[in-house]
Amino acid sequence: MALPKIQYQTILIKVPPANKEYTFRPMLVKEEKLLLMAKTSEDDTDILSSIKQVVNNCSLDDKFDVDNIPLFALEYVFLKLRGVSIGDQVKVSYKDYEDESVYDFIIPLNKVEIKYPENMNNKIAISSTAGIIMKYPPATLYDDKEFLATVGDDSFYNLIIRCIDKVYDAENLYEAKDFDDKDLLEFIELLDIKSFDLIKNFMENLPKLYYKIEYKNKKENNRTIELVSLSDFFILR
């Protein structure tokens, strides 16, 4: 006799930036086990890869492709899944370095939003006829071991390379995926400083998770904490 099949509730999540709804199921014990095993390994790359795997496992929609969403969307979906699967409220603690006290806060995950930069253009003009079209960092970065192994300036340049979508001139449109990292890096290194600064500005003003904590410390001063990345939230049990 076979054990009964468990019926799971379905969840509709609007996935940014298009805010198209996709169907997911809650995280199960096997997903929590995956995350805990990754955490035990103390390897950040294992944890990041597991987060991406959890989101992919929980998708029930054939039209959802975790590899085709930006990184901030992956983090947003993961937080939403964590909220409905384990609990919507998480406790975080931060030390106030003005009064040297530690404060506890409860974060409602359903209030976490995506903060988009204002007046940001992903089209970087190099000249009157040539330029670069950028894209947001892709979710594939979470299992890109070559990228995750880089440090310092190399990491930033490698991130830029992975965020180049297209290059164009007066006659042609070139897909970045058709070129290897070496070619793209050489192209970036030959840019003029002003054009590169526009790329840096794009990379430094990406959409991000956002939740603001406001409180008054023991010195009666108003304080603000802004949570802007997945690591700012308690994501595992």
Comparing 140 with 235, the larger pLDDT belongs to 140
Q: How far is CA 98 from CA 92, 93, 94, 143, 223, in A?
A: 18, 15, 12, 39, 10
Query: What is the identity of the amino acid at 36?
Result: L
The whole-number pLDDT of residue 234 equals: 55
* pLDDT higher than 80, residue 43: no
For the CA atoms of 225, 209, 132, 162, the dihedral, rounded to the nearest 10 degrees, stands at 110
Using 50, 70 and 90 to split pLDDT, how confident is the model at 37? confident
The whole-number pLDDT of residue 39 equals: 78
State residue 180 phi and psi, 5-degree precision. -85, 170
CB neighbour burial string for 49-86, b if at least 16 within 10 angstroms, e if fewer: bbbbbbbebbbeeeebebeebbbbbbbbbbbbbbbbbb
Closest Cα partner for 143 from 232, 209, 40, 55?
Answer: 55
* pLDDT higher than 90, residue 3: no
The DSSP 8-state label assigned to residue 129 in this structure reads S
* pLDDT higher than 80, residue 189: yes
- pLDDT tens digit sequence for 78-131: 999 999 998 899 889 999 999 999 999 999 999 999 999 998 889 999 999 999
* pLDDT higher than 80, residue 236: no
Q: Average pLDDT, whole number, for the chain?
A: 92
How far is residue 173's CA from residue 77's CA, in Å, rounded to a whole number?
A: 33
Comparing 38 with 181, the larger pLDDT belongs to 181
pTM listed for this prediction: 0.90
- pLDDT tens digit sequence for 147-174: 888 888 889 999 999 999 999 999 999 9
* pLDDT higher than 50, residue 204: yes
Query: What is the identity of the amino acid at 193?
Result: I
How far is residue 235's CA from residue 230's CA, in Å, rounded to a whole number?
A: 8
The DSSP 8-state label assigned to residue 198 in this structure reads H
* pLDDT higher than 90, residue 193: yes
* pLDDT higher than 90, residue 38: no
Count CB atoms within 10 A of the CB of residue 34: 19
The whole-number pLDDT of residue 129 equals: 95
Stated as kind and residue range, the H or E segment containing 94 is: strand 89-96
Percent of the chain with pLDDT over 90: 75
* pLDDT higher than 50, residue 237: no
The whole-number pLDDT of residue 165 equals: 97
* pLDDT higher than 90, residue 56: yes
Say if residue 116 is exposed, middle or buried (CB neighbours under 10 Å; 0-12, 13-18, 19+). middle
Closest Cα partner for 13 from 91, 69, 92?
Answer: 69
Comparing 211 with 7, the larger pLDDT belongs to 211
Mean pLDDT of 200-225: 96
